[in-house]
Amino acid sequence: MSIDSFLGQSFVAAVMVLVAAWIFGKGLLADGKKKKAFKAIGIWLLLSTLTAKPIFLGIIFFMLGSLLFVWMFIGTRSGAASYSALVKLGLNNGDSLQEAINRGLKGVTHREPFNQLNQDDIEFLSKVFTKIENPQPLGALIVESDKRGDIQLLKDRNHVVEFAKFVQSRNQEG
């Protein structure tokens, strides 16, 4: 093995180890399923680096790990970001505010914990936040529910109504 080949393989291995450590570190800072996924990908990438003797295998493993990493970020968009984007899309397409809120809520029901929302919950939430003519406070409830991993804030109708009244009173003051 020539020195150039050895240095090339060493450089690729070093980069892959750094990426694996960074991904593993993100896993330590994340929570829930993300934490397990980050740790698993980091360990997998590190082990693949250590076992890849030919440089092309190291590059292939690096590319697969990178694609998996990117897919994780695309696939784990927050509930609030999905909700906001879908509401904005609905409003831009000429939907009423209630239809746009419905669209936003239906768009987040494919992921936990929002998959526990039923059609009745969606209709109730969209009616309440249509009355105050502002979909953003519902986004705040979605953020909090996402952090907790629990949609009790969205299911508790008394809490939702009180929250909406509070937001409406603050809007009238300001």
DSSP state letters, 23-59: HHHHHHHS-HHHHHHHHHHHHHHHHHHHH--SHHHHH
Residues 163 and 101 in one domain: yes
Same domain, 68 and 91: no
* Res 52: pLDDT: 54
Structural domains of the chain, count = 2
Whether 30 and 100 share a structural domain: no
DSSP string, 98-159: HHHHHHHHHHHTTSTTGGG--HHHHHHHHHHHHHTT-SHHHHHHHHHHHHHT--HHHH-HHH
Q: How far apart are CA 24 and CA 28, in angstroms?
A: 7
Within this chain, do residues 58 and 104 fall inside the same structural domain, yes or no? Answer: no
What is the extent of the structural domain holding 36?
Answer: 3-75
pLDDT of residue 154: 92
Q: Which of 11, 41, 75 marks a domain boundary?
A: 75
Q: How far is the C-alpha of 101 from the C-alpha of 135, rounded, in Å?
A: 7
* End position of a domain, from candidates 49, 75, 101: 75
pLDDT at 99: 93
Rounded to the nearest integer, the mean pLDDT of the chain is: 76
Residue 18 has pLDDT above 70, yes or no: no
The Cα–Cα gap between 139 and 169 comes to 18
Q: Are residues 69 and 85 in the same domain?
A: no
Measured CA to CA in angstroms, residue 38 lies from 18, 47, 59, 137 at distances of 14, 14, 20, 31
Q: Do 83 and 56 have their domain in common?
A: no
Q: Is 167 exposed, middle or buried (0-12, 13-18, 19+ CB in 10 A)?
A: middle
Same structural domain, 47 and 98:
no
- Among 34, 51, 75, identify where a domain stops: 75
pLDDT digits (tens, 9 = 90+) for 50-98: 555 555 556 666 666 666 665 555 455 577 788 888 888 888 889 999 9
pLDDT in tens, 106-123: 988 888 888 899 999 999
**Per residue in 144-167, pLDDT tens?**
888 888 899 999 999 999 999 998
- Does 90 share its domain with 168? yes
Q: Assess whether 164 and 144 both reside in one domain.
A: yes
| Statement: the pTM of the whole predicted model exceeds 0.85 | no
**Do residues 51 and 89 both lie within one domain?**
no
Residues 55 and 109 in one domain: no
Same structural domain, 83 and 166? yes
